[in-house]
Homo-oligomer: A and B are copies of this chain.
């Protein structure tokens, strides 16, 4: 269960055996059934979540009840409503499991203690957030510059594996398109081998 998190941590930072032991003590493993929630919009997001198996999604429901997907989180990814988790305010997103999943949970307090006891975790999260930030920036510019078709093409070309696990209506939501539009434009997009 912890193998996967250490593998991911060690892609960014070096850890001693003692550090690993400390890290272990801070995370609580949990199994999630498909459709089970980690946090519901409007509540406080108590945990930062590492996905060791399965697939979660985080999304926001607007006034009209339409859902807008913020992020998909497969194995090896982190998820949370960061704003709520770090500031204690209410959550803007709901997060739930799209498949039966296994996660590692850490509370805000334990997160603070972790970064104090194992300072290299600050570096790890600095690098993690740094990379996410680059991705989010690009996605935002892409939402202004690219057509619906271009956005879809980029997505499938860059995540062919993940796409197979995600129903089309949720992809549409992630891209900010209506399901009908995505259905229609697919016909023009032939994804060939690279």
What total of chain A residues lie within 8 Å of the partner, measured CB to CB?
Answer: 31
**Does residue A191 face the partner (Cβ distance < 8 Å to B)?**
no
| Overall SS of chain A's interface | helix
- In whole Å, how far is A159's beta carbon from the nearest beta carbon of chain B? 17
Q: Which residue of B lies closest to A129 (CB)?
A: B129
**Does residue A176 face the partner (Cβ distance < 8 Å to B)?**
yes
Chain A, 115-136, CB within 8 A of any chain B CB: 115, 119-120, 122-123, 125-126, 129-130, 132-134, 136
| A83: contacting residue among B82, B86, B92, B134, CB under 8 A | B134
**A125 contact set on B, CB distance < 8 A:** 126, 130
Question: Would you call A145 and B70 a contact (CB within 8 A)?
Answer: no
**Does residue A62 face the partner (Cβ distance < 8 Å to B)?**
yes
| A145: contacting residue among B60, B82, B119, B145, CB under 8 A | B60
Question: Would you call B86 and A130 a contact (CB within 8 A)?
Answer: yes
**A137 contact set on B, CB distance < 8 A:** 70, 82, 136
**B-contacting residues of A (Cβ < 8 Å)?**
60, 62, 66, 68, 70, 82-83, 86, 92, 115, 119-120, 122-123, 125-126, 129-130, 132-134, 136-141, 143-145, 176
Q: Which 8 A-B pairs have the closest CB atoms?
A: A129-B129, A144-B176, A126-B126, A122-B123, A136-B136, A122-B122, A62-B145, A83-B134
